[in-house]
Amino acid sequence: MKYNTKKTFQIYLKASRQRPWSGLLALIFAMAASAVGVIYPIYYKKFFNFLADGSGDKMLLIKSLLFILLILAILKLIEWLFWRICSFATIRFQSQILADLANLCFSYLHKHSYGFFSNSFSGSLVKKAKWFVNSFENIADRFIFDFFPLMLNIIVITVVLYQTNQYLALGIVIWTIVFLIINMIFTNYKMKYDIKRNEAETASTGLLADTITNNATIKFFTGYHREKKRYWEATEKVRKLRLFSWNLGTTFDAILGLLMVALELGMLYLAIRLWSTGSITIGDFVLLQAYLLNIFMRVFDFGRSLRRTYEDLSGAEEMTVILDTPHEIMDVHNVKELKVSAGEVVFDNVDFCYNRTRKVLNKFNLKIDSKERVALIGSSGSGKTTLVKLLLRLYDIESGKILIDNQNIFSISQESLRSNVAIVPQDPILFHRSLRENILYGRPEASEEEMLKASKAAYCHDFISELPEGYDTLVGERGIKLSGGERQRVAIARAILYNAPILVLDEATSSLDSESEIYIQKAIASLMKNKTVLVIAHRLSTIRQMDRIVVLDQGKILEEGSHQELLDEKSSVYKRLWELQAGGFLT
């Protein structure tokens, strides 16, 4: 916990050092304004000493009092001006750093691996990033407006009171030290419960996001009451932890109140004793009371600010852990760019397992020649999709090599690798943006003519043209406003426009009706020309024209050959599957 708190501060300080001047300006003027605020009680002292004296020329006394009022007015105006400058500098400083931190979270998050996102709720990640950014704003405010001004106030007040009477200064110093020690002990004790509360809030946020994403499933399978009960249990856990944390804070406020009462009564008692011996004046009483009020206000705020700072740090901790977690898939030092000339793909003695426990591939070998069209078939869990993920380097292999044109994909940049591989996934997910933006996503610089050509080739131009807003139609989150077939055709149009030398089709026609499938097969046939193609399919009718069909089972190749070659094998697994499909038992 302490390490993460330190790490959070290091990240915040590093971001602040990138834009130091506005932050430094805010801090300087906050300290200056606080110093002015501590000075003008000295003139209150003089003012009341003049009144208490009451002797001498009345007109001279009035002039003296008015002169003091003028000085007080000037000091108040200067203090007001300094705080305004501080506020504007703080706004500039924080707006810059908040944007930098948000960009940092975005950049670092998206560099994490496919597996990282598979094991995380999207809603929880959003919450962690948001709290991390917002925590900086809150903590910066407290340092600028509370902590540093308090330190300056205590120092100046101690110096002024020491010049008046050393016992008064000593009383303030001792009380402040006792208060700070108690505050730090309590805040450290409370922080572990704040972290537990934040973890519970993250879990409830993730659960809420999961149910919203799967709201249709909840309706279809009448899971409303079950999910409601589960969410109630999650929020009840948050409520209990929040109540306990808040009760701790309220208890400490009560203790702080007693300490403040003790200080005020003790200092006034000491002042009376000193006044009775002629050691201080009536003006010193006023000075003391003004400083006590100043200290009470700032110290009381300090206690709350310190606890809330630790609460913010505990809220930022989850994102700090993510920022401190090394990326699982990283480019090597002196990484090279992939140069594809032929498009040959080789899996050479590849070993791979999920979570170090589930072995998927063991000494797997497969060579896909340049411009060859290869189909992978097999039961679920046989390793088909895993091969695609490894080719795109969404996971790193345990041992062996994956080569593209004799270049090890481990030694080339991830960006250049994926820029040479176009994929049409089984369940294409679209951005909640316009259809035009989704189709252009792989090549945003493409012309309108190129975009329309790709759209027509994927047979989605007609249905898009019929929409009221055409290509400017927003598709909804994950493309939910489109049917499955429409989403898939948009994904195919995107791949056509991307025009990478290596093409991966993962059940690319699985969501299409029979008539649309005929058109898409024509589009795909055109798309596959002069490309190395890897196709994953369950519907065997879609792969008859492949150059080679590879049958997988438990991460191993059972058999391979063309459609006709495999049918000619009497005991062929492919032949059995084909006969089942032809007979209507496999769809």
Q: What CATH number is attached to the domain comprising 240?
A: 1.20.1560.10
Sheet strand arrangement including 399-404: 358-368, 345-354, 399-404, 407-408
* Helix, strand or coil, per DSSP, at residue 550: strand
Domain presence at residue 148: yes
Separation between Cα atoms, residue 117 and residue 364, nearest integer Å: 26
Q: Are residues 215 and 185 in the same domain?
A: yes
Q: What pLDDT was estimated at residue 586?
A: 42
Q: What pLDDT was estimated at residue 272?
A: 75
Q: What pLDDT was estimated at residue 305?
A: 76
- Please list the pLDDT of the chain residue by residue as tens digits (587 residues): 455 778 888 899 998 888 888 888 998 998 888 888 878 777 777 777 766 665 666 677 677 778 878 888 888 899 899 999 999 999 999 989 999 999 999 888 888 888 888 787 777 788 888 889 998 988 888 888 888 887 787 777 777 777 766 777 777 778 777 877 777 787 777 777 877 887 888 788 778 877 876 776 676 667 778 888 888 888 888 888 888 888 887 787 777 777 777 777 777 777 777 777 766 666 666 766 677 667 766 776 776 777 778 778 877 888 888 888 888 888 888 888 989 888 899 999 999 888 766 778 888 899 999 999 999 988 777 788 889 889 989 888 888 999 999 999 999 998 899 889 888 887 787 888 899 998 998 888 989 999 998 888 888 888 899 888 899 998 887 778 887 778 888 888 888 888 889 999 887 666 566 666 676 777 777 778 788 999 888 777 778 888 899 998 888 888 888 888 888 887 888 888 887 776 544 44
Q: Are residues 59 and 88 in the same domain?
A: yes
Q: Are residues 166 and 29 in the same domain?
A: yes
pLDDT in tens, 510-520: 656 666 667 67
pLDDT in tens, 430-440: 888 899 998 99
Q: Which domain holds residue 551?
A: 342-420+541-587
Q: What pLDDT was estimated at residue 221?
A: 61
Domain presence at residue 438: no
Single residue among 296, 323, 350 that ends a domain in this structure: 323
Tokens describing residue 529: 């020309």
Domain presence at residue 286: yes
AA letter at 462: D
Tokens describing residue 341: 């000339």
Separation between Cα atoms, residue 553 and residue 565, nearest integer Å: 19
Exposure b/e, 210-223, CB count within 10 A at least 16 = b: bbeeeeeebeeeee
Q: Are residues 375 and 266 in the same domain?
A: no
Single residue among 293, 323, 353 that ends a domain in this structure: 323
pLDDT in tens, 161-170: 777 667 777 7
Domain presence at residue 370: yes
Q: Are residues 264 and 402 in the same domain?
A: no
Domain presence at residue 398: yes
Q: What are phi and psi of 351, to 5 degrees?
A: -110, 135
Q: Are residues 25 and 132 in the same domain?
A: yes
Single residue among 291, 323, 355 that ends a domain in this structure: 323
Domain presence at residue 316: yes
Q: Total domain count for the chain?
A: 2
Tokens describing residue 419: 């820029």
Place of tokens 């403040």: 260
Q: What pLDDT was estimated at residue 527?
A: 75
Q: Are residues 168 and 298 in the same domain?
A: yes
Q: Are residues 262 and 349 in the same domain?
A: no
Q: What are phi and psi of 420, to 5 degrees?
A: -105, 5
Q: Are residues 50 and 138 in the same domain?
A: yes
Q: Are residues 185 and 222 in the same domain?
A: yes
Strands 502-506 and 358-368: unpaired
Report the candidate in 117, 103, 114, 124 with the shortest Cα–Cα distance to residue 19: 103
CATH code, domain with 372: 3.40.50.300
Q: Are residues 155 and 36 in the same domain?
A: yes
How far from each other are the two terminal CA atoms of the chain, in whole angstroms? 54
Domain presence at residue 268: yes
Exposure b/e, 320-337, CB count within 10 A at least 16 = b: bebbeeeeebebeeeeee
Domain presence at residue 440: no
Q: What pLDDT was estimated at residue 575?
A: 85
Q: What pLDDT was estimated at residue 217?
A: 65
Q: Are residues 23 and 92 in the same domain?
A: yes
